[in-house]
Structure 1
């Protein structure tokens, strides 16, 4: 049964369109390969799908650049000329921007002011004043941050409820009471002095004698 002809128009169904594209692309690449082998032809195919996906075929033993060079040589059309001219234009614009920026830097250093009008000088002065104000605010912020950090480092550490001072013989003990008074306790070594009153000892007659002093 003969196969009916299909109407050549855009396939509206996306799924059918993708399936048809895939099948016909494979058939086209197959024909290109056959031409390369049977006819010793150099074939290059570049395809972009509707989703902008690239598919290409290139005869073995040749690069894409060689294909382009042979095309230019045969047709006399320089396909790189337009791109080269566009690159030259972009480079010229960048050079102009660079020159303008360098001129602005020199003007802010006090140079190249001869060609400026009064209005331009006024605008430059205003720009400089705004820049100085911004720099000053930034400097003050940095200074304030440094001062705050230093003050936090210099804050006295919280004193423990009891502080011990060791002189090697454990003869001195320092204690801090809740009213921030410093009480110095001296532990008298054995034996007890004969002239020590009985009320001076904290406990029995044997052991250490404790004398308390209040320091304000």
Structure 2
């Protein structure tokens, strides 16, 4: 009968989990022993149970195998560090070389240190300069077009504002005559509202003397 494939997850049942641990632990210790004998290799196996109990197997000595592992680990770390340092040095050297080439190219574009350039190199340099000039002129032309468009918009705004100011200025002469009409109207109303007053001396009802 073919056994079903065991699902790799924690066994929830405590008894089943303990039985499985005992069986597989013994099988793992047996396999470690067989591997050390059949292949003449150094094997060390450490197992801690869920309760913290230690089970171990070593073809020679657990301690010696652990020390050997530590030494091997230090060698790997040292080797890795050395490889990283070497790679970093190479990167720095390449970066320095690139910076030197860029600096030389910059000076040549400025017309300096051209003595070491061949005729072909000078021709290539001239082509690069012409291409740069075309790019610069194109960018300059674009900026000029943008400035012209902005100035035209500003001109339209100023013309519109000027027209509004002219309309307001044309209305100014009409204001004094209107103001005069309003003043004369208020003056006539004040005159109509005036009351004649006289000062009389004497008792009321008798002949009085007007002043």
Q: TM-score, normalised by structure 2?
A: 0.46
Structure with larger RCO (C-alpha < 8 A, sep 6+): 1
Question: Rg larger in 1 or in 2?
Answer: 2
Q: TM-score, normalised by structure 1?
A: 0.45
Query: Which structure: greater helix fraction?
Result: 2
Query: Which structure: greater strand fraction?
Result: 1
